[in-house]
Chain A
């Protein structure tokens, strides 16, 4: 097989490219944090569809009666500009009577259809955050164990680093774009982790196979480069089919799964990238560093 474009040789450029995406995201996370939905913070959400287009100021005026004028009020994007029939209100946690009163007050603006009304207590919110972190940690631990068993520890760590990369990319972009993060985002992150490692494993599997018939004339970098290119078509085809599926969900699916699909869209793209340009290069770098150290130790010992 003729060796094509040398990905491994240029790996530091690809690490740099990743850094260019990761760093702004990390800065945004540090500075402006996340737009956490009520699933995390606790609160009440009213998603209403009025018979006529209403304006944010009108809604705020009505909410003032209950002292809720500081709530987040959003209109669904329409071509009409400042008014829309579809209003999305996020307030602090309202108890049942408060909520009924607010819903009644809003009838002053005309008839409406309730699309969604949600209340999440603060306890539930903090539980979700905790559960998400535990789930991620547990799945990483099991994956590291599995890959260490089937491959080796270095592969496992390189693969998990690639997952880490993808999650930071998604978190960073969601922070930059100020997109709302809710319970389904947690599911999206775990799915991205699952997909990213799946993609990586296919390449590792090829490296493992090529190592068995490894000739002394071929350097480790060449071998990994060859493996990456042997699986390239598959990597591209698979990410394309998955992206087709998620993109149709994003563009044609319901409003409630939009952010979920967006997270997957970003995550899968990043997952495919990191599998090719990060995971195996990290492994090679580590492997070579280890080999160099071993040789150094041996030459020292010989003296």
Chain B
């Protein structure tokens, strides 16, 4: 039986350490990274009431759809568009190249109007089917418009009535072009000329394609993290994490010897479980989230410390190793539950009250508390028991007592 227990211990310990060594890095990297780590832009918009367009649920839904279309046109991987509360929309643009023009693009009302000479609006963006940027034979950058059937009829009527006169095409009350109508245009197509760069033409086309925002929108928050800072934060977090791990491991070894070895093995498992849970929950890893992970390692060790200290007391009061260990686990358990519950309360409140990256921190902290408790009472216990049953070490000193 002696060998049986020792083999069990060695297999379990080795398995955990090998899995940790091989998978920790790929696992950590496979978790979705927040904007503060990979670089990108976070935008919060708020719809405001105007006399013409009050904000209501229907307008908000249409607003979301328009913004979604615009964001999708940016061609980013995994952008996020999210409603927050009654009037807000959050947009996250990971890895966006030109954040300023992206922000400008998303927040533009983009109301298109065709006016006759008297200034009366005849057609609007609603009459459009499609808009594209084009380069003509003279190398000019144009925006070509395709009207809907009804829009085409209206446009034909407009051009028929205004031959020889000027019409105006406006975007958000700004003149895009002001051509003279040479002849009626019955085919439902139009072209916006003007001196524009290709990017400008593309932007106008994009805005017209995605349609106008149904309500006025204010940009109330933007946060852009450049790729350099993101990369830098990532590198530094890795270093901080590694140093914290080494410090804790050495500390536990010095003060608890064999028990410390066991605690360190369960700490390795704990970190793996935490990362794995984050991945399964499809959580986003942010900088505060990493801080939460590093912090929760310190806390996870606490459960072990409580158990080992209790074990030391019980052992010194004259119990055998095994009896002392059992008593240590049982008596420390209620302490661990009570003390962790209070910290957990803080994490839960943070989760429900906080926004964005604070939520990320709360998730790692909260999960960390649960998993730390779990590994302490299962893995630490199992490993210590098998190790003691192996009868390899007879003195309590080896276990830190």
Q: Which residue of A lies closest to B229 (CB)?
A: A115
A-chain residues with CB within 8 Å of residue B240 when the two chains form the complex: 248-249, 251-253
B-chain residues with CB within 8 Å of residue A252 when the two chains form the complex: 236, 239-240, 243
Contact B223 A116 (CB under 8 A): yes
Is A153 part of the binding interface, using a Cβ–Cβ cutoff of 8 Å? Answer: no
Contact B349 A234 (CB under 8 A): no
Is A99 part of the binding interface, using a Cβ–Cβ cutoff of 8 Å? Answer: yes
Bound: A286/B335 CA distance, A: 23
CB contact between A116 and one of B103, B229, B302, B335 (< 8 Å): that residue: B229
Contact B365 A244 (CB under 8 A): no
Is A103 part of the binding interface, using a Cβ–Cβ cutoff of 8 Å? Answer: yes
B-chain residues with CB within 8 Å of residue A193 when the two chains form the complex: 346
Is A87 part of the binding interface, using a Cβ–Cβ cutoff of 8 Å? Answer: no
Of A143, A246, A254, most B-chain CB atoms within 10 Å: A254
Contact A242 B251 (CB under 8 A): no
**Within residues 346 to 386 of chain B, which ones have a CB less than 8 A from any CB in chain A?**
346-347, 349-350, 353-355, 357-358, 361-362, 365
Contact A190 B349 (CB under 8 A): yes
CB contact between B338 and one of A118, A150, A194 (< 8 Å): that residue: A150
Contact B357 A142 (CB under 8 A): no
Q: How far is the CB of A131 from chain B (nearest CB, A)?
A: 5
Contact B301 A238 (CB under 8 A): yes
Bound: A45/B267 CA distance, A: 39
Is B247 part of the binding interface, using a Cβ–Cβ cutoff of 8 Å? Answer: yes
Taking A135-B353, A142-B349, A253-B240 as contacts, is the C-beta distance between A245 and B248 under 8 angstroms?
yes
Q: How far is the CB of A47 from chain B (nearest CB, A)?
A: 7
Contact B353 A241 (CB under 8 A): no
Bound: A147/B255 CA distance, A: 31
> What 1/0 mask marks residues of chain B from 221 to 238 whose CB sits below 8 Å from any chain A CB?
111111011001100110
**Within residues 237 to 279 of chain B, which ones have a CB less than 8 A from any CB in chain A?**
237, 239-241, 243-244, 247-248, 251-252, 255
Interface on chain B toward A: helix, strand, loop, or mixed SS?
helix
Is A205 part of the binding interface, using a Cβ–Cβ cutoff of 8 Å? Answer: yes
Q: How far is the CB of A283 from chain B (nearest CB, A)?
A: 15
Taking A121-B221, A256-B287 as contacts, is the C-beta distance between A248 and B338 under 8 angstroms?
no
Q: Which residue of A lies closest to B343 (CB)?
A: A194
Is A210 part of the binding interface, using a Cβ–Cβ cutoff of 8 Å? Answer: no
Interface on chain A toward B: helix, strand, loop, or mixed SS?
helix
B-chain residues with CB within 8 Å of residue A120 when the two chains form the complex: 220-221
Is A284 part of the binding interface, using a Cβ–Cβ cutoff of 8 Å? Answer: no
Q: Tally the A-B contacts, defined by beta carbons under 8 Å.
A: 216
Is B305 part of the binding interface, using a Cβ–Cβ cutoff of 8 Å? Answer: yes
> What 1/0 mask marks residues of chain A from 121 to 134 whose CB sits below 8 Å from any chain B CB?
10110000001001
**Within residues 189 to 244 of chain B, which ones have a CB less than 8 A from any CB in chain A?**
218-226, 228-229, 232-233, 236-237, 239-241, 243-244
Is A13 part of the binding interface, using a Cβ–Cβ cutoff of 8 Å? Answer: no
Q: Which residue of A lies closest to B223 (CB)?
A: A118
CB contact between A114 and one of B220, B224, B248, B313 (< 8 Å): that residue: B224
Contact A143 B338 (CB under 8 A): no
Contact B291 A241 (CB under 8 A): no
Bound: A49/B339 CA distance, A: 45
Taking A139-B349, A143-B342 as contacts, is the C-beta distance between A183 and B223 under 8 angstroms?
no
CB contact between B295 and one of A47, A100, A246, A254 (< 8 Å): that residue: A246
Is A27 part of the binding interface, using a Cβ–Cβ cutoff of 8 Å? Answer: no
Q: How far is the CB of B115 from chain A (nearest CB, A)?
A: 25
Is A237 part of the binding interface, using a Cβ–Cβ cutoff of 8 Å? Answer: yes
CB contact between B305 and one of A117, A230, A234 (< 8 Å): that residue: A234
Taking A187-B361, A198-B340 as contacts, is the C-beta distance between A241 and B225 under 8 angstroms?
no
Contact B298 A242 (CB under 8 A): yes
Bound: A243/B299 CA distance, A: 10
Contact A249 B305 (CB under 8 A): no
Tell me the A residues contacting B by CB distance below 8 Å: 47, 49, 95-96, 99-100, 103, 113-121, 123-124, 131, 134-135, 138-139, 142-143, 146-147, 150, 183-184, 186-187, 190-191, 193-195, 197-199, 201-202, 205-206, 230-231, 233-234, 237-238, 240-246, 248-249, 251-257, 260-261, 264
Enumerate 22 A-B pairs (CB-CB under 8 Å) in ascending A order.
Answer: A96-B100, A115-B226, A116-B224, A116-B229, A118-B221, A118-B222, A121-B221, A143-B345, A183-B357, A184-B361, A187-B288, A190-B349, A197-B339, A206-B335, A237-B251, A241-B251, A244-B251, A245-B295, A246-B298, A249-B294, A257-B237, A260-B291
Tell me the B residues contacting A by CB distance below 8 Å: 36, 44, 46, 99-100, 103-104, 107, 218-226, 228-229, 232-233, 236-237, 239-241, 243-244, 247-248, 251-252, 255, 287-288, 291, 294-295, 297-299, 301-302, 305-306, 309, 313, 334-335, 338-347, 349-350, 353-355, 357-358, 361-362, 365
In addition to A187-B350, A238-B306, A254-B287, 7 A-B residue pairs with Cβ atoms within 8 Å of each other are A121-B221, A134-B353, A191-B365, A201-B339, A201-B342, A249-B244, A256-B229
